[in-house]
Structure 1
């Protein structure tokens, strides 16, 4: 015991030396002893062996590296543990001792292997990974037995100094791979070895097995794969247990392996039969043949579905009359990737076959486009009308020997000038043109060479080679013309515009012929671009007297729709001023060499001119210019229109009228609603729809009228200016004018005396914010004393400064509402009844009529 005799704090150092027996167990040593209790105790534990793992309990914190001061007396071959222990009566120390007694023994080595073998066409490649586990002693060199027919390509690991291969003394013995390490391996060592074997058309392949020399145990996993286009089958297998790919290590699961095995000991053996897989190709084709007068063009699209194995060559059936240098073959997007074409050659063994070599392997769905043009013999060209020709077009498609299934469709098209009659059809089934393009996921427009060609027929074929023969004949062109003649009568001139709409079908023409009156030969102008006019000389025999034959040519042969526009003008001078009726000639321009001709005449006029047809018209009938004109044409100021379908004759008469100024204000419609109340007061609402060019509108209300607070113009509130006209004394006039605005005083100075001599209030409605001539809606609301026996209404008087002329009034409606106890006996005034009497029991009731 240690006694503390004073009361002052004191540092005391106590050294205790004791011995305690060690409890030994397999792989672990332990010792426990009692210690003085303290809140925190620091322990430094020394064991005279390096690298010892120690554990002390109970523990607050520990580290295997002590401070420099505490380890100055410790040697490098000792293990030191610094620990902090809490308040406890017993401390337990545990550690794992180093193995003793292995000095001088040989290394104990085991190995795990992962072998990957891939069989390709003409070569077998192997990659083997060796994971060594080493015990008891270090290893400086590793030896591995490699089959004699395998070539060691590479051996790699960061700890490899060098490697060499020792050839076998006997052919039956394996070659030995020796690997020298930089640092001796004491625990683990990894090696990766790559092998390669060239196959000389061998049908069977033996699995290469690598054997680690000097090991007590070798086990591992073997995976075997075959590249695309090859199929492998197991012929013999020994010592290998087949496993599922899900049981493979993570590093091997992503591979495309045909077989996977596990072995636990050598020897093992496996033999595989290697066969080349033939590709399975399905072909679906779409083709179009466009026949012209001098040649025909073939365009084909084929979608190949390549399965099992890829291909580097495609074969097409192309007749010998199509030269290879005229073939245009390229990849196409037909529901798959376009193929990469390298070159095109004709098969020397088969003149009907063309080989297409690809620069990249084709697998899956790929597309190919091929087209060519075949010209006719110049002696057989269909350049003359009525000439015939038998044509058997060359149809190209995938070669039957290169595909498993072969089917497709073909569409025959021809220009409109050719009549195509099928003469012989072989191995083709007729279908609709819509069915011919079904399933075509790519660009359908690539099949259509000319958008003006007409579809003649569509067929479907399968497997057997199709063939078709047509009899071609050049058809006569058909020309139809519609012409629209516009006659615009103005004050000083008459302007003519004649539009000829030609539609040429079944063949082209060189020019259009139009016979024009001699009087217009020097006056008309051609306004259509890219056309030129020329007088035909000498004149044809069918020209009518007084006419000249003209031809109009385009930049090329005319086929399709064209529009020619001719214009000319006739001056009137003062003819409309001198005579009441001025004759207006309508000249007839005659298109020739056409199969059908008809037209329309539209008469336009100025606002102050009246135009009508004169007697003696022939071959024309009147039509509605608003609804019956060709192509839905619309013309403003159209006075009339005529239609003709043959020879015609027409003359018009024009008359000009003097222009009289209209009233500046016009009231189109009005509605005045008067509600008679029981208190002898009338509530009036007056609504007017009017047009005016004035800036202000003068309105007079009956005597006693009191405006409501709300007056509206086009739905917007406004405050009218006002003045009073009455025969009262000057004093009363002064009193009433006190409430009038200064602007109203100026207007009141110019106001007129009301005709009845009774005071009426005049208002001025401002129209400054409205457009002149546009419809305006004016709404006035006011109350008026009275029992309804008299109904005075608003008036629009003349005003020298504001309204020099009273407005024109078209129609005003008046609606009167009487109390229920009031009975209407009669009414008078310049009004038209807009109601009917209806009997309801014993009572009569006025029912309003329909309003516009």
Structure 2
């Protein structure tokens, strides 16, 4: 049962009786007129069953009673929700939409024109950064009128926007900048505005010039243009064989967003037209000498200038086995025997993209190791390079000792002089060379291991057999070993061979074992890996007793 306290309106008669404060009706009124009766609101207690509570109170037409303060709070919240909300202001006061730049490459300077599409979003004064701090502005206009520029570590456009609607601004900058020279190449770099779409159209009057735009979001489209002489107010030079036309080269590229854009080209009058590329090589060779094979890993870093290199040629000694030439830019490589040098082999490397600045190659090759007679390390000779220098680091494998027999053309160096990438492991010798060819010969011989064994033998005499357990603790020095041999006593047979840990000596890992010899008197134990230091092994043997020697026969 639920109790509900409700405010109800009592009838008129009951109101007059229940409330003596209410005055009786006046007798001065006419009999036909009824006097208004004041309604009295009082509380009543009503008992409603819980199962009927929802059906009685939660239906249409029922009222909700709440305090006046809560009513005003809900009323004001509803009224504010009906009012139109003001639009939030733009997150920025202005923005760049796109830029288009036209460049004319000259001999000493570059002339350019940049058109910027800018949108002013908020009212008031705007100071828009244009960067371009390293150029000389010749002319600046906004929508056909003069532009107000301020220079403070770069150019700024000063704009006043009064309308509440966004305003489109079209800024045009005409500028000039000097050219930088580097080994026949020409470069010019611009500090560009932060524009999401940046189009660059670069042209020169010299035909066959390759022009690079960096960073380029799309590969530049290169074409040879022919423009009428005098179209831009320039007359053709006397004796011009083009017959009234100026033939040149041009590219169009979209630059990726970034702080700067660099243009690089090589004029044909001063660069690679008819000339070979200038290349130099810095090499790092890592030599690993093993018992049967000497393996070399060499890294060649090419530095190219003046022209392109579409392929590379490298010569090796004829007995050298070339295993691989690696780099993402290597398309394929082939082996050939040059006619002018029958004692060498040549590797021709074809590249995906021609080399203009730098190129790295990783080479892996090997020669047999000649113990005792001397091993001549192979010398790599890149073909067509002007300078070749580098380092040679040599490391002997385990179980080998050696000495340098010949080091003509080499200077011994400290391992700390190697590049950081080559100092990751210890080297036995490090040499430096400044020219090729050089000679480096090694006298290498295996180191004989010194092995001592501490053996413990336990003999158990049974009724019908003798059981022998031998535990050998090996101490292996100088060089590691992969197997040992054990003499088997006459009449005994091997039942089990296993590694066994003894005190601080670890158990050896056994790969297999076998009994050899015509008399089956030699046990050969092969280890799973090279054993060096101390290791322990356990051998179990058994010999059956003849009938006359058995202990269980009757006395």
TM-score (norm 2): 0.53
SS of alignment partner, residue 63 of structure 1: coil
Specify the alignment match of 2:161 in structure 1.
none
SS of alignment partner, residue 379 of structure 1: helix
Specify the alignment match of 1:361 in structure 2.
530
Specify the alignment match of 1:327 in structure 2.
495
Instruction: Give the Å deviation of 1:300.
Output: 1.7
Specify the alignment match of 1:198 in structure 2.
368
Quick check: 1:52 aligned with 2:182? no
Instruction: Give the Å deviation of 1:370.
Output: 0.6
1:23–1:31: 8 Å Cα contact kept in structure 2? no
In structure 2, relative to structure 1, the CA distance for the partners of 1:173 and 1:344 (3 Å cut) is closer
2:358 to 188, 207, 222: 188
Taking the aligned partners of 1:116 and 1:201, their CA distance within structure 2 comes to 20
Instruction: Give the Å deviation of 1:41.
Output: 2.7
2:296–2:365: 8 Å Cα contact kept in structure 1? yes
Taking the aligned partners of 2:334 and 2:394, their CA distance within structure 1 comes to 27
Q: How does 1:30-429 map to 2 (within 5 A)?
A: 40-41=156-157, 44=173, 46-47=175-176, 52-54=188-190, 62-63=192-193, 101-104=270-273, 105-169=275-339, 173-199=343-369, 203-323=373-493, 326-334=494-502, 335-348=505-518, 353-383=522-552
In structure 2, relative to structure 1, the CA distance for the partners of 1:364 and 1:172 (3 Å cut) is farther
1:46–1:80: 8 Å Cα contact kept in structure 2? no
Taking the aligned partners of 2:254 and 2:548, their CA distance within structure 1 comes to 113
Q: How does 1:514-533 map to 2 (within 5 A)?
A: none
2:509–2:527: 8 Å Cα contact kept in structure 1? yes
Taking the aligned partners of 1:102 and 1:96, their CA distance within structure 2 comes to 16
Instruction: Give the Å deviation of 1:79.
Output: 11
SS of alignment partner, residue 338 of structure 1: coil
SS of alignment partner, residue 321 of structure 1: coil
Encode CA deviations 1:191-244: one digit per residue, 9 max, x unaligned.
122212234666310011101111111111111122222222111111222222
2:137–2:176: 8 Å Cα contact kept in structure 1? no
Q: Which runs of 4+ in 1 moved over 6 A?
A: 32-37, 48-51, 71-76, 78-81, 95-99
2:277–2:307: 8 Å Cα contact kept in structure 1? yes
Structure 2: 5+ residue stretches without partners: 1-106, 110-133, 140-146, 159-170, 180-185, 204-249, 256-261
Indicate the larger mover: 221-230 or 46-55: 46-55
Taking the aligned partners of 2:200 and 2:434, their CA distance within structure 1 comes to 52
In structure 2, relative to structure 1, the CA distance for the partners of 1:362 and 1:154 (3 Å cut) is same
SS of alignment partner, residue 343 of structure 2: coil
Encode CA deviations 1:122-146: one digit per residue, 9 max, x unaligned.
2222222111111111101111111
Taking the aligned partners of 2:202 and 2:108, their CA distance within structure 1 comes to 25
Instruction: Give the Å deviation of 1:272.
Output: 0.3
1:141–1:178: 8 Å Cα contact kept in structure 2? yes
In structure 2, relative to structure 1, the CA distance for the partners of 1:64 and 1:52 (3 Å cut) is farther
In structure 2, relative to structure 1, the CA distance for the partners of 1:38 and 1:117 (3 Å cut) is closer
Instruction: Give the Å deviation of 1:245.
Output: 2.4
2:332–2:350: 8 Å Cα contact kept in structure 1? yes
In structure 2, relative to structure 1, the CA distance for the partners of 1:374 and 1:235 (3 Å cut) is same
Encode CA deviations 1:32-69: one digit per residue, 9 max, x unaligned.
999977594368454598962135xxxxxx5275867x
SS of alignment partner, residue 188 of structure 2: coil
Instruction: Give the Å deviation of 1:161.
Output: 2.3
In structure 2, relative to structure 1, the CA distance for the partners of 1:317 and 1:72 (3 Å cut) is closer
Taking the aligned partners of 1:114 and 1:155, their CA distance within structure 2 comes to 15
Taking the aligned partners of 1:66 and 1:51, their CA distance within structure 2 comes to 24
Encode CA deviations 1:570-605: one digit per residue, 9 max, x unaligned.
xxxxxxxxxxxxxxxxxxxxxxxxxxxxxxxxxxxx
Taking the aligned partners of 2:345 and 2:417, their CA distance within structure 1 comes to 32
Instruction: Give the Å deviation of 1:345.
Output: 1.6
Instruction: Give the Å deviation of 1:80.
Output: 12
Taking the aligned partners of 2:429 and 2:513, their CA distance within structure 1 comes to 39
1:64–1:80: 8 Å Cα contact kept in structure 2? no
Indicate the larger mover: 264-273 or 46-55: 46-55
1:131–1:191: 8 Å Cα contact kept in structure 2? yes
In structure 2, relative to structure 1, the CA distance for the partners of 1:171 and 1:231 (3 Å cut) is farther
Encode CA deviations 1:306-331: one digit per residue, 9 max, x unaligned.
233222221223222213xx432222
Give the paired residue count.
341
In structure 2, relative to structure 1, the CA distance for the partners of 1:74 and 1:359 (3 Å cut) is closer
In structure 2, relative to structure 1, the CA distance for the partners of 1:78 and 1:376 (3 Å cut) is closer
Indicate the larger mover: 134-143 or 150-159: 150-159
1:137–1:186: 8 Å Cα contact kept in structure 2? yes
SS of alignment partner, residue 251 of structure 1: helix
1:153–1:194: 8 Å Cα contact kept in structure 2? yes
Q: How does 1:709-728 map to 2 (within 5 A)?
A: none
In structure 2, relative to structure 1, the CA distance for the partners of 1:131 and 1:378 (3 Å cut) is same
In structure 2, relative to structure 1, the CA distance for the partners of 1:126 and 1:79 (3 Å cut) is closer
In structure 2, relative to structure 1, the CA distance for the partners of 1:74 and 1:260 (3 Å cut) is closer
In structure 2, relative to structure 1, the CA distance for the partners of 1:280 and 1:73 (3 Å cut) is closer
TM-score (norm 1): 0.36
Instruction: Give the Å deviation of 1:376.
Output: 3.2
Taking the aligned partners of 2:200 and 2:335, their CA distance within structure 1 comes to 52
SS of alignment partner, residue 290 of structure 1: strand
SS of alignment partner, residue 282 of structure 1: strand
Taking the aligned partners of 1:233 and 1:280, their CA distance within structure 2 comes to 21
In structure 2, relative to structure 1, the CA distance for the partners of 1:37 and 1:271 (3 Å cut) is closer
Encode CA deviations 1:84-122: one digit per residue, 9 max, x unaligned.
xxxxxxxxxxx9996652242321111111112222222
Specify the alignment match of 1:87 in structure 2.
none
Specify the alignment match of 1:397 in structure 2.
none
1:51–1:79: 8 Å Cα contact kept in structure 2? no
Taking the aligned partners of 1:263 and 1:106, their CA distance within structure 2 comes to 26
In structure 2, relative to structure 1, the CA distance for the partners of 1:172 and 1:259 (3 Å cut) is farther
SS of alignment partner, residue 238 of structure 1: coil
